[in-house]
Structures are given as structure tokens and as C-alpha cells.
Amino acid sequence: MLSAQSDATDKIKNEGLQHSGVMNFAFHLTDASGPRLTNSPGFFRAANWAKDELTKMGLTNVSLEPWGDFGQGWEQNRCYLAVTAPYYFPVVAIPRAWTGGTPGKKMINEEVMIIRAKDSAELYQNYAGKIKGKIVMIYSGDTLKPSFEPDGNRFSDEALEKMANSKPDTARRPQNNLNADQMNAARQRQALQRQMGEFYKKEQPALVLSMSRAGNDGTLFVQGGGTYTKDAENNYAYVMVSSDDYLRIQRLVLDGQKVKMEAEVKTTFYPSDLKGYNVVGEIPGTDPALKDEWVIVGGHLDSWQGATGATDNAAGCSVMMEAMRIIKASGLQPKRSIRICLWSGEEQGLLGSRGYVKNHFADPADMILKPDHGKVSAYYNLDNGTGKIRGIYLQGNKEAGPIFSQWLEPFHELGAKTVTIDNTGGTDHQAFDAVGIPGFQFIQDEIEYDTRTHHTNMDTYDHLVPADLMQASTIIASFVYNTAQREEKIPRKALPKPRGTVNRGF
């Protein structure tokens, strides 16, 4: 048994490290497909390409499987902004998702106004009736700072050791733990944002400029700005401007100079099919007693619109497609079936994976289990950027620890050895974990994820690290194969209690 396992590992390593197809997959999902906002034309280019490719690989039951209602697709068709007075300079800007275009058929050329209001009363008092047809920007108190830290990072041995030594009772989600004051401030900001949105709809500026978190060097963080529900109306033009350009324009306006800008923004909404789709396919199992059970792997195919979503999450999808290719090409015959799911709607709240889990396994609201709930051994996810695998988060599943530790042994030489009891959040494994199906996300080196690529206009193919993606594909192929061959399924945690219909976020 052990020698059969190491023979399979050798085959997988050889295929994954010497004959990798992962960067070819990544090219097709990024450069060739374009941005993959859920239900956009780019998303369907990628989804249909992936479907054909998985079919060519020899997978069965490959399809775009609807998971439920999503809403409208959207894409940008034109975005040009430049300051024309006091002198000419081009401006880096990208439309926020699900927002509209500038009025009329021609380019607009208007004065830029700064809006500075601490609440909606001040907003209406000072600006009602004054911004129609204008280009407006909200005052920003941010400043840019030189960066003395490197953009790219890998886990240090100390950091990994600390994770390995986490205890079950201290295991916690490492991110997004806001205190009460921060929560309040965030709520107030959101409320003011909503009121601003209402104000713009009523007052009809020609274009609204915004600046997100201060990103240096032309990097802009850009996500949504409008709504995608079926009755969403075509909104006002609303773009994210690079911080460097935004603050420069702001200083000129505050100095009292007449700043004029020409701009043309055009976008399209796609209301004809409101359903959301995941790409699914499988390698059928070969063991009569186990082939009705599954190992599932996934990443999310949808991205934001600012670039081509290379690290978020073409990387994960390419790795999972490559893991399937490696298993097929190695001639291995998995006992359990292996299913790949490339999710959509992840960026809007893990919608595709949650829909899938609800349709096939259980709804966390009532925890009434469907028959297939018991047939999944494990779900593996990759969605923390391009970085290689350093280990795996157990998500509190203590009994899986020794199994994964053993499976990582052949990969210590490739830098992967850490097994931590910790939870990690924000990715699709949570949809499975929420109904008691073992769901795991791997520990990945950060590389430039938070500093440079995550949800930015810099999330492009060139920010992928080929050697890291090859390493990840190889390790995942091995994990998946071992899971398919293991006599027992991966041990499960206690079933969660029904959540009720209250949305507790993720």
C-alpha cells in the first residue's frame, strides 16, 4: 500500500513538475478571456473555454451548472479620462462594476468639483442643485507614503512554526476582527455612501470620481459601485481613479484652479440571463464500492473588472484544472470520483459555492441533509493568490491533521509541511465547512497579494509565479489522489447546528 502510494506520488511529481500545463491554462483564463466579472461576457468566455478544455482532457459530465439566481452581467466598453486644464495629463481610471456611463454620445468636458460633507444633511445643504452635469470627487484626507517594505513576501520559518503550534482552543480566523468602534465607523461610512448614492441619482452629475484605499504607483483597488439585481437601473458613471492622479487633481482644485477634465465612459448591463453558473466536471471513480463517493476541488472563476483576475483567482482555477490533468496524464485510476468546480459569484459572497452546496448537500439554515451529503470525502480550495503551498489549514478538524501531515511528507523538499488547526476565511471552502463537509484551504505564500494584486488593476498574468503554481498543482493532485484512494473518508467535525435564516456573513 505504502509503495503503491509513493509510486503514484512519483508519477504525479514527474507530470506536475516536468510537463506542467498550468501556465497555459492561466493564459486562457486571463489574457484570452479578459476580466471575468460574474455573468459578464468575459466570464462566459472563460467558462466555455474551461468546459471545452476539461472535456478534451477526458472528464465526464462537464457543464455550466446553474446554482441559483444571481443577476445581471456587466462590462466596461470604454473608459477615457484626462485633465485638460490647467494643462493636459491622462488619468488612470477604471469604472466600478455595475455602474453607468457618461451622458450623451460625445466626450464630456467639464469642471471638476470637490464634495466635502461629513453627513447627508451637509451634503444636501451645500451641494443640492449644484452638481448636475459636473464631474465630482469626494474630498480625500489620504496621503501616499513611500514604501520601505517589499511588495512580495513568503512565510518565514518562524511564522509557519507558530501556525503549526496553534492550539484548537486558540484557533481563530486570523483576519477581519474589527472591534465595536471600528464596526460602528464602518457602518457610518456605509450609511453615508448609500446616502451619497441616492444624492447622485437625484442630482445627476456627469461623472463621479472615487479613490479607494491608497494604492501607490498607479495601482488602484476597484470593485463594485452599483447593484446587479434584475431590477437594477443603469446607474450614473462612477469610476475609480488611481490615488496618484486623484490627489494631484484634488490639490489643484483646492488651490482654487479651474480644473477641467474630458471623459467618456461606456458600460453595458446584461439582463437576459439572470441565473448564476459554475463550471463542473469529473473523473469517474473506478472502485465499485467507492465510485459513488467524491473528492471535490475548486477555485473561483469569477473576478473583478480592473484587470484579468490572475491571482484572484485564475491561479486557483488553473491549478485545479492542472491537478485534474496531472491525474489523467499519469494514468492513475482513482477509486473515488474526483469532481472539479469552478465557482462564480465568489466575489459577491461565495454565492456559487453556497448555491452548489445548498442544491447538492444541505442548506446551513436548516441542516436537513440530502443523500449526497454523506458521499463527499473532502473539498480542497485554492484562493490565496499565486503563492506556493506551505501547508494546510485544518479548519478546526483535528483528526485530519495526522493524515495531512503524512501526505505532505514527500513535499517537504518543495517547502510544504505545515499543518495548522487554524481556520482561514474568505474562500469557498467555507461553503462546505458550513454544512459539516470537510473543506480546506491551503496555506500559501502571500507574494504580492495584499500589497499589489488582490482586487486591483495589476492582477495580471505577469504577476503569476510559474514555479509556485506548478508546485501547488502537484501537491493538490497528490492530496486529491490520496483522498480518492483512502479506505475511509476524511474524518468529519461534529455537524453544525442549523443557522436559521439570519445571514452571519463569512
Find the part of the chain contacting Zn ion (CB under 5 A) among 85-93, 131-139, 267-275, 311-319.
Answer: 311-319
Element of type H or E holding 400: none
- The amino acid sitting at 324 is M
Nearest CB to Zn ion, comparing residues 151 and 312: 312
> To the nearest whole angstrom, how small is the minimum distance from the Cβ of residue 189 to Zn ion?
21
For residue 108, list its beta bridge partners: 263
Find the part of the chain contacting Zn ion (CB under 5 A) among 151-159, 204-212, 304-312, 478-486.
Answer: 304-312
Taking a C-beta distance cutoff of 8 angstroms, is the pair 102, 263 a contact? yes
The cell for 240 is 475609480
The SS3 assignment for 505 reads: coil
Given 53, 65, 203, 312, the residue binding Zn ion (CB under 5 A): 312
Binding to Zn ion (CB under 5 A) within 50-69 occurs at none
Nearest CB to Zn ion, comparing residues 312 and 363: 312
Nearest CB to Zn ion, comparing residues 203 and 312: 312
Find the part of the chain contacting Zn ion (CB under 5 A) among 54-62, 99-107, 148-156, 312-320.
Answer: 312-320
Find the part of the chain contacting Zn ion (CB under 5 A) among 238-246, 288-296, 309-317, 400-408.
Answer: 309-317
Cα maximum dimension of the chain? 78
The cell for 307 is 484587470
Nearest CB to Zn ion, comparing residues 226 and 299: 299
> To the nearest whole angstrom, how small is the minimum distance from the Cβ of residue 487 to Zn ion?
37
Q: Which residues of 377-406 are buried (b: 16+ CB within 10 A; e: fewer)?
A: bbbbbbbbbbbbbbbbbbbebeebbebbee
Find the part of the chain contacting Zn ion (CB under 5 A) among 77-85, 92-100, 218-226, 306-314.
Answer: 306-314
How far apart are the C-alpha atoms of 140 and 215, rounded to whole Å? 13
> To the nearest whole angstrom, how small is the minimum distance from the Cβ of residue 318 to Zn ion?
15
> To the nearest whole angstrom, how small is the minimum distance from the Cβ of residue 455 to Zn ion?
6
Taking a C-beta distance cutoff of 8 angstroms, is the pair 344, 419 a contact? no
Q: Is the dihedral of CA 42, 43, 46, 51 positive or negative?
A: negative
The SS3 assignment for 40 reads: coil
Nearest CB to Zn ion, comparing residues 269 and 343: 343
Measured between alpha carbons, how far is residue 156 from residues 38, 87, 388, 390 in Å?
A: 36, 48, 13, 10
> To the nearest whole angstrom, how small is the minimum distance from the Cβ of residue 154 to Zn ion?
21
> To the nearest whole angstrom, how small is the minimum distance from the Cβ of residue 260 to Zn ion?
36
Find the part of the chain contacting Zn ion (CB under 5 A) among 251-259, 310-318, 359-367, 427-435.
Answer: 310-318
Nearest CB to Zn ion, comparing residues 73 and 306: 306
> To the nearest whole angstrom, how small is the minimum distance from the Cβ of residue 347 to Zn ion?
5
> To the nearest whole angstrom, how small is the minimum distance from the Cβ of residue 172 to Zn ion?
22
Nearest CB to Zn ion, comparing residues 312 and 428: 312
Q: Is the dihedral of CA 172, 174, 176, 182 positive or negative?
A: positive
Element of type H or E holding 367: none
Element of type H or E holding 398: none
**Per-residue DSSP letter, 453:** I
The SS3 assignment for 296 reads: strand
Nearest CB to Zn ion, comparing residues 293 and 312: 312
Nearest CB to Zn ion, comparing residues 282 and 312: 312
The SS3 assignment for 312 reads: helix
Spatial CA neighbour of 435 closest among 341, 352, 362: 362
How far apart are the C-alpha atoms of 75 and 92, rounded to whole Å? 18
Number of residues that bind Zn ion (CB under 5 A): 1
> To the nearest whole angstrom, how small is the minimum distance from the Cβ of residue 306 to Zn ion?
11
For residue 113, list its beta bridge partners: 136
Give the residue nearest to Zn ion (CB): 312
Residue ranges of E strands in 17-152: 60-69, 73-85, 89-90, 93-95, 108-115, 135-138
> To the nearest whole angstrom, how small is the minimum distance from the Cβ of residue 224 to Zn ion?
12
> To the nearest whole angstrom, how small is the minimum distance from the Cβ of residue 346 to Zn ion?
7
Binding of residue 428 to Zn ion (CB under 5 A): no
Binding to Zn ion (CB under 5 A) within 327-386 occurs at none
Nearest CB to Zn ion, comparing residues 306 and 415: 306
**Interface contacts to Zn ion, rule CB under 5 A:** 312
